[in-house]
Structure 1
């Protein structure tokens, strides 16, 4: 925990006034003003512990990029044999610290909800997880829509931006103590713009190596690779790139007889217009100054812009304070002095934060692992080896693998009111096969997508004298007394201990669950949550020891608790250790029955994502192993594969296996439907099926076509 909050919502309006606003009120507020300010005129954004400030549009775009990163990691995950040793997995690497600070700031920006637990920090925000969140279903500070659906967007130049009328036509010069920090902010804002379904908004940045080195230091030599950031050796080369783009865009506009690049959308909907292009450079002099001015003047209608470090007499220059507040400079002799460049408070970032965000954004752009050298340090507890995440400390005896039919009903799960609100809000972000129609889903499988999952019936609480806890899906205590709910943080502690195998040090808990609590209060808060959790467990399970604290370590008692995640893992271990095929199949089925939904589904715990992904990988591996065991039973195999696809909609290997099974059954339409479902799912993460998958589908379709379909085959087709 830190001595003070590491991310806060914007405090009072800074002392340095933003240009274009009066000190005694603003009788007329423009749409641009509304976009960048709250109802009191205060710029909306997040202040980090370092002093950096990020406008709300950038923060929302970064949250959406993080969701995209996790989806890409799931897409590229390669299943492992169940008995393969765990190794360090880059796909489980936590996000940089600055991302956590931004997301905590976003949570604070949400309005308070009734029943919120005020002892700990607010966690009431949707979890960015799944295709809908990638589309931008985060909420802004007013609880409104996301950037991609009309809410705040990053403060970056673009014809489609609400602030487009305020951008200087021949470039914006930055001076003052915060000039370099603001240039870094523009870089991140530009690269964060544009969701997967908004290709026209994905700004490209052209920068010279000297400018990159000035802003980012020695790390600029080897920046994370992304097609949206083009770094040249010299400014002249950067201008050559901008000039080439300008000529290309001018030809497109002239060919379609339209005025601007954005008009191309209506003129030629089949060909998306070029995205915004931003030149980031030091303000030049001599002939390069004239060249830059000419390019930017011509490029305004072509979505080409310039952000220049230093006074820019051919455009508009503003002074930026260390907090991002802007004021006009002396405009005497400036032909554009009538333009206020009132773009509001600018995002300002430190070099290290910028590099971390660049790494995250680059992975969201490419879908590939980032360059390791640019990964920031993370809490030790979050970066442990996967065997720590998967919690091998609990070795339940085989009798704990016994299952009763069904799964916990929602009415039998106890959560705090604040936690229930959070999970209800996050339920709008389901992990699912995206955008498929009911007809495609029906054709893609002969069974429902939940064919290998447990039903929604109730499990008898207190089985074998133990309290039943569910952490796969909405976390809670099964059949608990609704009048005695745990605090939100107490429930989070229960999930945290469960996923770590039942044990965690006090230091790890404080780092992960209370990262921004004041140091002098963090331990007391932890004791409060521990006491509350013990009380709730005793109330629902009777007298006994549920949570111990030996040697500064908190441990759950497996003799008193029956946790679905532990059952899943015990079943996988049993399947790994047995040599009997029938026994192995039964154990794998038990494991998959317990994996109804992702870990703590709908909850936005700050530490959760690497653990959630580790559990997801375990379930994925188990599904693949079971499908392999059922290779001689294609109908049974399909039930497993289609249920797995519902949990892992971006896993191409599952679709390939399902296509092969459908081909063995002669089900041509089902193969086609699977290909459509996969294509739509991957479109949500801005990618497409691999050549291997498309070639396999074509091969299986052609081979199946060549067969003489019997009436039985036609009846079997979905």
Structure 2
């Protein structure tokens, strides 16, 4: 219980605030008894170090220290009060209908006070399955906007409308699908090189992914063409100037929004000058047009005008005020409007309408002060650069030289330990730890089993912590690593209490069910105790470690990897930190499948191994090419053609057509953004 400690802290603070003034006033008196006279000042200058002057200096110093303490306490109290007031403001108030019903219920209760009323005890709520969120679970680290426009999410570097955020999450899933498609399996090697394309995505992207980790899919997916048309409809047909403190932030948001729309439409959607790109994104921005088919960067407004005239399609033309004159911009705006597009001038437009831009993304038309303006996406330079990372086409990089890779953690069978003895503060009726068997299954649906029975874990964050610690065995994780993984983009100072509460509840639930301490905390790191817990991922890692160093009987070692992989790591979960680990683990398994197929002398058995690899990763192009070649070599070209047709349909559904630019998949067809495969 924390209230005794809180009460003791309050008493200590009160003692420090009241004790020193009382002692100083009783023993010494007030620090100053009136202003010094001229004779006293002259005497002090002639003889500064007297007993009286030293006593006065020490007294004043003591009073200054007390004032500093009082100021610190006052500031802390004000901060706490402001936080409490903000929390109270966010409490949902009852609607008029709810208030009326509550009043009627209260009147009924007080009206029958003379009669004896028997109230049935509340029924216990049914247990939730592992990982099911509850009402008292943590608040999402991405808070919904409570202003007039509620359809958006806040980030550390700005604000995104829900539709734009969904497109970012889909684009992030597409990055991992593209990496799965392009990966070429290689035999297990103890000196395998680091895979550069398994690195995690930027923090802004993972924050957006976390916002949709547990969100339901929309019932109807927005049409890409309608989305871009709605964006064009925000601006007047004749063009618009944007001025105010939020101009550059809105310009970056408009840039990202238009480029994401171009992903859907598979057509160029934005024209801008290289000077505008540099102003918005920095010195490295002008080279982006080579990696973004949706973006066309030109040198001058005349180049933009010729481009609009030669390719009449709806586009947004983004310019800076400093690089244009009135006639050129008006001519370009007319041409863009004829093609169904719009022109936006950042910094104001003397020759046309100019709206004021707030840092929150709200646009305001000065000619219509009574009408609320639209709210656009706003981003700072870091956030915009992070989001660009999921929509630019990666530069082809030369193969990296082979470098030693840190060996996989080797799972050593734990030594037998004496059962833990119950302490004086624990009930004697707890289960005997020596007879309990705990198993954590993270391949597939994450589940903690106690004697074969699943243990209910109410908090989704607690389940994440278990899987995160299992994937980081035996190094474990610090509190900051756990907080950054489970709650990205949330200030760490506000997560300490939430993390400790989740960990404490998780450890208590496991200890009450098994009598064991599964999560250890040593050297400021949390670790899973392998003596009390068996994890299927550790068995797979041990098989991978053995196969990478095996010299003889390698076929059996590769087969052990395939046998130890029943399903994807935490299948069905969209935790952003999980993607790099999941993809690395999957690649080890398809490496083993490819090695088994190459070493198999019988074509039919080799083909069966390749088909097993396709069930593990149906998006890998190299495995499909191997399987088609195996069908053709076996004299079954029809099966090879059918396999190719299924693969093309799969790529089309995922947004990775081989004969067309990548497009974003719909969250309605796949709520997880296709990263669950």
Per-residue Cα deviation, 1:167-186 (whole angstroms, up to 9, x for no partner): 31121211111112111111
Q: Does the 8 A contact of 2:447 with 2:454 survive in 1?
A: no
CA change 1:502–1:614 in 2 (3 A) is: same
Q: Which residue of 1 aligns with 2:387?
A: 357
| Match status 1:178 vs 2:246 | yes
Which of 462, 465, 468 matches 1:490?
462
**1:555 alignment partner, SS class:** strand
| Match status 1:326 vs 2:363 | yes
Unaligned 5+ residue runs, structure 2? 1-79, 84-88, 91-143, 416-432, 661-677
| Match status 1:593 vs 2:593 | no
Unaligned 5+ residue runs, structure 1? 6-10, 13-36, 108-122, 127-137, 250-275, 332-336, 372-384, 400-461, 692-718
Per-residue Cα deviation, 1:488-511 (whole angstroms, up to 9, x for no partner): 222211111111224323232233
Which of 240, 243, 251 matches 2:306?
240
Q: Which residue of 2 aligns with 1:300?
A: 337
CA change 1:638–1:44 in 2 (3 A) is: same
Deviation at 1:231, TM superposition (A): 1.6
| Match status 1:683 vs 2:652 | yes
| Match status 1:223 vs 2:288 | yes
Per-residue Cα deviation, 1:461-515 (whole angstroms, up to 9, x for no partner): x999742221111111246545643532222111111112243232322332244
Deviation at 1:194, TM superposition (A): 4.8
Q: Which residue of 2 aligns with 1:289?
A: 326
Deviation at 1:593, TM superposition (A): 2.8
Distance 2:443 2:541 in 1: 12
Q: Which residue of 2 aligns with 1:98?
A: 204
Distance 1:626 1:184 in 2: 50
Q: Which residue of 1 aligns with 2:19?
A: none
Q: Which residue of 1 aligns with 2:613?
A: 644
Q: Does the 8 A contact of 2:155 with 2:489 survive in 1?
A: no
Distance 1:341 1:240 in 2: 36
Which of 389, 392, 398 matches 2:408?
392
Q: Does the 8 A contact of 2:510 with 2:518 survive in 1?
A: yes
Q: Which residue of 1 aligns with 2:73?
A: none
Q: Which residue of 2 aligns with 1:79?
A: 185
Deviation at 1:38, TM superposition (A): 10
Distance 2:154 2:530 in 1: 43
Distance 1:470 1:285 in 2: 61
**2:283 alignment partner, SS class:** helix
Which of 576, 591, 602 matches 2:572?
602
Deviates more, 1:650-659 or 1:548-557: 548-557
**2:311 alignment partner, SS class:** helix
Distance 1:640 1:463 in 2: 41
CA change 1:301–1:554 in 2 (3 A) is: same
Q: Which residue of 2 aligns with 1:58?
A: 164
Distance 1:147 1:387 in 2: 45
Distance 2:452 2:145 in 1: 42
Q: Does the 8 A contact of 1:243 with 1:295 survive in 2?
A: no
Q: Does the 8 A contact of 1:359 with 1:370 survive in 2?
A: no
CA change 1:245–1:84 in 2 (3 A) is: farther
Q: Does the 8 A contact of 2:326 with 2:350 survive in 1?
A: no
Q: Which residue of 1 aligns with 2:116?
A: none
Q: Which residue of 1 aligns with 2:4?
A: none
**2:342 alignment partner, SS class:** strand
Deviation at 1:640, TM superposition (A): 1.9
Q: Which residue of 1 aligns with 2:349?
A: 312
Q: Which residue of 2 aligns with 1:467?
A: 438
Distance 1:328 1:690 in 2: 45
CA change 1:515–1:63 in 2 (3 A) is: closer
Q: Which residue of 1 aligns with 2:503?
A: 530
**1:360 alignment partner, SS class:** coil
Distance 1:91 1:675 in 2: 26
Per-residue Cα deviation, 1:619-671 (whole angstroms, up to 9, x for no partner): 221221222222x1222222221122122222111012112221232112111
Q: Which residue of 2 aligns with 1:655?
A: 624
Q: Does the 8 A contact of 1:467 with 1:537 survive in 2?
A: no
Distance 2:626 2:323 in 1: 62
Alignment of 1:319-468 (within 5 A): 319-330=356-367, 344-362=374-392, 366=393, 392-396=408-412, 466-468=437-439
| Match status 1:49 vs 2:156 | yes
Distance 2:201 2:510 in 1: 33
Q: Does the 8 A contact of 1:203 with 1:278 survive in 2?
A: no
Per-residue Cα deviation, 1:355-398 (whole angstroms, up to 9, x for no partner): 22222221xxx365799xxxxxxxxxxxxx9967xx82333459
Deviation at 1:291, TM superposition (A): 4.0
**1:355 alignment partner, SS class:** helix
Which of 486, 492, 517 matches 1:513?
486
Q: Which residue of 2 aligns with 1:147?
A: 222
Query: Aligned-pair RMSD on alpha carbons?
Result: 3.9
Distance 1:535 1:39 in 2: 36
Alignment of 1:185-196 (within 5 A): 185-194=253-262
Deviates more, 1:530-539 or 1:79-88: 530-539
| Match status 1:573 vs 2:545 | yes
Distance 2:260 2:637 in 1: 41
Q: Which residue of 1 aligns with 2:275?
A: 210
Q: Does the 8 A contact of 1:77 with 1:91 survive in 2?
A: no
Per-residue Cα deviation, 1:593-633 (whole angstroms, up to 9, x for no partner): 33232211111223211111111222221221222222x12
Deviation at 1:684, TM superposition (A): 3.9
Distance 1:367 1:464 in 2: 54
**1:53 alignment partner, SS class:** strand
